[in-house]
Structure 1
Amino acid sequence: MISLAEIQRRIDSGDLSADAAIAQSQEAIRAKEKTIGAFVCRADDVRAARTGPLRGIAVGIKDIMDTADFPTEMGSPIYRGFRSRGDAAVVMMLKQAGASIVGKTTTTAFASVDPTPTLNPHNRGHTPGGSSSGSAAAVAAGMIPLALGTQTGGSVIRPASFCGVAAIKPSYRLLPTVGVKCYSWTLDTVGLFAAGVDDVARGLSAMTGRPELVPSASVASPRIGVVTQHFAGAPEAAGAEALQTAARVAERAGATVHGVDLQEIVAEAWRVHPLIQEFEAHRALAWEYRENYDAMAPLLRSKLDESRDTTPAAYDAAMGVASRARQALEKVFDDVDVLLTLSAPGAAPKGLASTGDARYNRLWTLMGVPCVNVPAHVADGGLPVGVQVIARYGADAQALAAARFVEQALARK
C-alpha cells in the first residue's frame, strides 16, 4: 500500500516531487485497475497542486459524492451520465488542502446492499465489502494513498476490515454531507480510507484543519473496554481471533484492558437502527423509488418494499431509544478511554453475492461516535480481519491515538 505519511515526508524533504507522487499513483492504477475494478471513472492527466498539506496525494471519491470534474452516477442506471455543477463540500475540503482527485470509486447502488463488480485485492474470489467497495479496494491494492467513503450501517469500517486497511468513521457531522447523496440523514457519515492509522489521521487533519487529530510519535497507554456485542450474535472464528489478539497485545503493551457490558437500552438501539435507516431512506429516495421503481437495484428495492409501511410513530419511538442509548453510552466512557470491538463477523465472504454483514457496525453509526478500523488478523486465504477502536462522541483525536497504540502493539506481535 501507499503511505500518505511517507509521501508527505518525501515531498517535504525534497526527495519526491508532488507531480511524481501523483504519477506513481496513476501508474499503479493503470497496472492494477483491470483486475480489481475499483474505479467507475478516472482521469489520466491530473496534476499536483503547488501548495497544501495534501499536495501530491491522489484521492478516490466514492461515487455518491458530487464532483464537477467527473459524473456522479451513484451506482445506479437512473443517474447514468449525471454531472453536478459543483463539488460536494468534502471534495472541496480535499482540494483546498492540496489533494488531487484522480477518479470516482465504485459504490453499491445509493450506498445500499447490491454488490459492485469490485474484487478484494487480497483474494479476488471474495468481496471487498460495501458500500464503499471501490475506495477500500483502491487503497488496499496500492493504487492511491487516500479515499473517501460513507457509512450508514457499516460501509466504511466493514470494507476496511475486509481489505486490510485503516479507516475512520468520524464523529457524526465532523465532515459535512452537503453534496453527498442522502440515504439516512440521521446516520450518513463521510469517512476516510488509508494504509495506516497515521495516514488516516493526517488526511482527516488536513481536510478539517485540526492538527490535534494526528497522534504524537509516543502514544499514551489507553484504558480499553472490550465489547463483544453479544446482542448482535456470535462472530466467526476469524473475527473472534482478531478481537482476542488485539486485546491481548494491547494489554501486553501497557494498556489497561477489561470487558465492558452495555446497558439494555444500547442493545435496543442496535435493534432499531434498521427501522430508522429505512424510514429515512423512503424519504431520501422517494423520487427514485416512486418514479424509477423498475430501475432500482433489486436488493435495495426489496428492502424498501419491506419497510414501506413503517409508521411515523414507530420511527419517533426508535429515535427516542437512540437518544436514551447515546446518554447511556456516554457514561461508559467515564471508566474507559476507548472501546475495542469487532469490525466484522469475520473475513470477507466468498463471491460477490453479498458485501458482508454490518451487524457489528450499525450501533456505533447510530450512536454517532468515532470508529477506527485497525487490521488485526489474517484468516485463511490471506484475508484480513480488523477490529474497531471507538471513543466518545467528539473525541476523534482520542480514537485515533488509541487506534495507533493498538496498531503499534499488533506490529510488535
Structure 2
Amino acid sequence: MISLADQKCRIEQGALTPDAALAESLAAIDKHEGEIKAFVCRAKNPKAQQKGPLAGIAVGIKDIIDTADLPTEMGAAIYRGHQPLADAPIVMLLKQAGATVAGKTTTTAFAANDPTPTHNPRNLGHTPGGSSSGSAAAVGAGMLPLAVGTQTGGSVIRPASFCGVAAIKPSYRLLPPVGVKCFSWTLDTVGLFAAGVEDVAIALAAITGRSELNASEMKSPRIGVVTQDFAGAPEAGGAEALQHAARAAAKAGASVRELKMPDIVAEAWRIHNVVQQVEAHQAFAWEYREKYDIMPPLLRKRLDDSRHYTAADYDAARIVTLKARAALSEILKDVDVLLALSAPGVPPAGLDSTGDPRYNQLWTLMGSPCVNVPAYVAEGNLPVGVQIIADFGDDAKAIAAARFMERALKSQLQE
C-alpha cells in the first residue's frame, strides 16, 4: 500500500516532489484498476498542488459526494451524468490542504445495499464491503494513499476490515456531511481510509486544522472489550481477530477487561434501523415517489419493507438513542477506549453481498469515533479488523489508542 506518512515525509525532506508523489498513485491506478474496478471515473490530467500539508497526496472521493469537476452519479441510474456545480465542503477542505482528487470511487447505489462491481484487493473472489467499496479497495490495492467514504450503518469500518486497511469514522459531523447524498441525517458520517493509523491521523488533522488529532501513541491504555452479544455471534474469523487483538494489547502493557453493555445500549442497537429508515423515507422521498420503477432494487425493497414505521416509533427511538449515549459516556469514564469487532468475520465470497453491518451500527448511532485496525488474516488472504472506539468528541484518544493497538498487533506478528 502507499503510505501517506511516507510520501509526506519524503516530500518534506526534499527526496520526493508533489508531482512525483502524485505520479506514484496514478501509475498504481493504471496498473491495478483493471482488475479491482474501484473507480467510477478518473480525473483527466490531474495536477499536484505544491503547497499544503497534503501536497502531492492523491485522494479518491466516494461517488455520493459532490465534485464540481467530475460527475456524481451515486451508483444509481437515476443520476447518470449528474454534474454538481460545486464541490462538497469535504472536497474543498482536502483541496485546501493540498490534496489532489484522482477520481470518484464506487459506491453501492445511494450508499445502500445494491453492490458495485469492485473486487476485494486481497482476494478478487470476495467483496470489498460496502457502501464505500471503491474507497476501501483503492487504498487496499495500493492505488491511493487516501480515500473518503461515508458510514450510515457500517460503510467505513466494515470495508476497511474486509480490505485490510486503516480507517476512521470520526465523531459525528467532525467532517462536514454537506454536499453528500443524504440517507439519514442522524447517522451519515464522513470518514477516511488510509494504509495505517498514522496516515489516517495525519490526514484528519490536515483536513480539520486540528493538529491534536495527529495524536501520539497512548501508553498502557485501559481497554474494555465489547462482544456485542445482542448483535449475534461472530464468525470464526471475527472471534479469532478480537481474541488475538485483546491478547496482543495485554501483552503490550494495556489493561484489558471484558465489558457488558447495559440494556439501554443493546436497545439502541435494536432501534438503529428505525432511525435510519424513517429518515431514509424522507431523504429519498423524491426518488421513491417519482422514480420508483428505476430505483436500485435492494434499496427500494428496504423502503417498501419499512413503511410501517410511524412518527411515534421514531420519537421513541430518538429517546432511546439519547439515553444510550449518556450510558455509554458513563462506561467510558472507567476505561479509555472500547475494543470491538469491525465485522462479523472475513469478507463474504462473491460480489452479491457487501457483508453485514451488525457490529457497526450501534457506534454510528452513538456518534462515537471508531478506528479500524487490521488484526488478523484468515485462510485465503482474507483480512479481519478490530475497531477502537472512544467517547463522542474523543477522536484524538481513539487515534492514540489505535496506534497502540496497531503496534501491539505488529509486535505479536513478529514474534
Q: Indicate the SS of the match to 1:115.
A: coil
Partner of 2:158: 158
Partner of 1:406: 405
**Which letter maps to 2:381?**
G
Matched, 1:128 2:122: no
Matched, 1:112 2:106: no
Distance 2:64 2:273 in 1: 21
Partner of 1:228: 227
**Cα offset for 1:173?**
0.7
Partner of 1:172: 172
Give the unaligned 5+ runs of structure 1: none
Distance 2:70 2:287 in 1: 21
| Alpha-carbon displacement from aligned partner over 1:150-189 (angstroms, at most 9, x marks no partner) | 0000000000000000000000010111100000000000
Matched, 1:219 2:218: yes
Partner of 2:304: 305
**Which letter maps to 2:219?**
A
Partner of 1:266: 265
Q: Indicate the SS of the match to 2:380.
A: helix
**Cα offset for 1:302?**
0.3
**Superposition map of 1:285-300 within 5 A:** 285-300=284-299
**Cα offset for 1:309?**
2.2
Partner of 1:256: 255
| Alpha-carbon displacement from aligned partner over 1:78-119 (angstroms, at most 9, x marks no partner) | 000001100001000000000000100000011001110000
What TM-score, normalized by structure 1, do the two folds share?
Answer: 0.99
Partner of 1:240: 239
Give the unaligned 5+ runs of structure 2: none
Partner of 2:385: 386
**Which letter maps to 2:238?**
G
| Alpha-carbon displacement from aligned partner over 1:169-218 (angstroms, at most 9, x marks no partner) | 000010111100000000000000000000001110000001111122x5
Q: Indicate the SS of the match to 1:331.
A: helix
Distance 1:91 1:158 in 2: 23
Report the number of matched residues: 412
**Which letter maps to 1:266?**
V
Distance 1:207 1:368 in 2: 19
| Alpha-carbon displacement from aligned partner over 1:45-73 (angstroms, at most 9, x marks no partner) | 11111110000100000000000010000
| Alpha-carbon displacement from aligned partner over 1:26-53 (angstroms, at most 9, x marks no partner) | 0100110010000000024111111100
Q: Indicate the SS of the match to 1:55.
A: coil
Asked if the contact 1:168/1:373 (under 8 Å) is kept, the reply is yes
Distance 1:361 1:144 in 2: 25
Distance 2:196 2:135 in 1: 14
**Cα offset for 1:310?**
1.0
Partner of 2:64: 64
Distance 1:24 1:171 in 2: 32
**Cα offset for 1:219?**
3.2
- Counting aligned pairs with the same residue, the percent is 69
Matched, 1:87 2:87: yes
| Alpha-carbon displacement from aligned partner over 1:257-285 (angstroms, at most 9, x marks no partner) | 00111100000000000111010000001
* Bigger shift: residues 241-250 or 43-52: 43-52
**Which letter maps to 1:151?**
Q
Asked if the contact 1:26/1:44 (under 8 Å) is kept, the reply is no
Distance 2:174 2:181 in 1: 17
**Which letter maps to 1:184?**
S
Partner of 2:200: 200
**Cα offset for 1:221?**
1.6
Distance 1:196 1:77 in 2: 35
User: Which of structure 1's runs of 4+ aligned residues deviate more than 6 A?
Assistant: none
How large is the Cα RMSD of the aligned pairs? Answer: 0.6
Q: Indicate the SS of the match to 2:301.
A: helix
| Alpha-carbon displacement from aligned partner over 1:276-331 (angstroms, at most 9, x marks no partner) | 10100000010011100011111110000000121100110011111100010000
Asked if the contact 1:372/1:399 (under 8 Å) is kept, the reply is yes
Distance 2:401 2:107 in 1: 30
